[in-house]
Amino acid sequence: MAYEWHQHKNAAVAAEALADAVAEKLNTVLVQQEYAVLAVSGGRSPIAFFEALSQKDLDWPRVYITLVDERIVPTDHADSNTALVHQYLLQNKAKAAGWLPLVEAGLKAEALQPEAVVQTALKHYRRRDVLVLGMGGDGHTASLFPQAPQLDQGLDEKNEIPLLHTTPVTAAHERISMTLNAIAETPAVFLAIQGGDKKNIFEQAAVAPSKQFPISYVLNHKKVNCHVHYSD
């Protein structure tokens, strides 16, 4: 197992602590290189973290923000993580950060063919320096879902292409996602989880790699030291 557990008394404290930890990592990267790349996960859970991070003192013009994964929908769609990140993270001080899209803005649904989306996203791709993952109640992380037909490809450490198209069996929308290999190549990896049900899934996943819980491949990866921020 390669993770460090950080337990917080509530979700607000966890969000602030995670924002502090991510900002500290980004500052360290910026001392060492010209720019830093932060990849975040979408959904409603990270909103408080986004808002806290957006207020941190960083050299934001030297930071690029992108997503770990995205639903292949127009960026003005209600389920777009791109829209969510722009609304809650690319605000305040973080408004000066750059953006690396996974799905191009302004395209209609019929123009968003999955393989074309992946190819376009790869043109914008830069290796991530800091990564904030989430975990679903089914043990998925990024858009590496149990039972997805592309799961083996996403978990294949010989797969050097960092992004792939995935088709969740248990969730809506085609997706674009970082692969396990791309996650493992990220120097700083964080995981945010909340609630006893997810803690139970996490504990099962931390024991050994299992396709039942794709997050298990991150938690048991020899290259990854995952900082887990948890609150009840």
Domain holding 95, by residue range, is 3-231
**Burial degree of 32 (CB within 10 A; 0-12, 13-18, 19+):** exposed
* Share of residues in the chain with pLDDT > 90 (%): 98
The model's pLDDT over 93-143, given as tens digits with 9 standing for 90+, comes to 999 999 999 999 999 999 999 999 999 999 999 999 999 999 999 999 999
Question: What is the average pLDDT score of the chain?
Answer: 97
The model's pLDDT over 139-185, given as tens digits with 9 standing for 90+, comes to 999 999 999 999 999 999 999 999 999 999 989 999 999 999 999 99
Q: Is the pTM of this model over 0.75?
A: yes
CA dihedral 208, 168, 166, 53 (to 10 degrees): -80
**Which CATH number fits the domain that encloses residue 219?**
3.40.50.1360
In angstroms, how far is the first alpha carbon of the chain from the final one? 22
Q: How far apart are CA 21 and CA 15, in angstroms?
A: 10
Contact by Cβ (8 Å): 100, 124? yes
Total domains in the chain come to: 1
pLDDT at 1 over 60: no
